[in-house]
Copies of this chain bind each other. A is one copy, B any other.
């Protein structure tokens, strides 16, 4: 499972949101760095640190049910040689529930490891309900 190689931070991000939609715990954990310094803040949640806390939080979320789709918008990306930082809006829709929801704002940080790019930080917080639509993200800024 963790032999998956992501050649870019964007590949890791795509896999992260695919795993989230599919409630695929192994797929989710294959995105995270095998490192105790990873951390994850779910919306309105505390900071979780390390493989065990992060894995069990996703296990709990995924046990809660499937059927949610997430569409990513408004990406801003800053990339160095070793670290990439993405900010996105996560737009969730739940089957059978057409109500519009405020997006979740996520800061995602990726690290270039010997096993490809992996996530080390996911910080998500709910945007206020009155959030106006922002313009689509600009192309990623490359520093090197």
Contact = CB atoms under 8 A, between A and B. Distances in A.
Interface of A: 37, 39, 41, 43-47, 49, 74, 76, 78, 80-85, 87, 89, 105, 107, 109, 111, 120-121, 123, 125-128, 131, 134, 138, 141, 143-144
Contacts of A111: 78, 143
**Looking at A43, A82, A126, A127, which has the most chain B CB atoms within 10 Å of its CB?**
A82
Contacts of A49: 76, 134
B37 A138 contact: yes
A44 B124 CA distance: 11
Contacts of A44: 125-126, 128
A83 B49 CA distance: 21
A41 B78 contact: no
Nearest to A79: B83
Contacts of A47: 74, 87, 89, 105, 127, 134
A141 B82 contact: no
A37 B105 contact: no
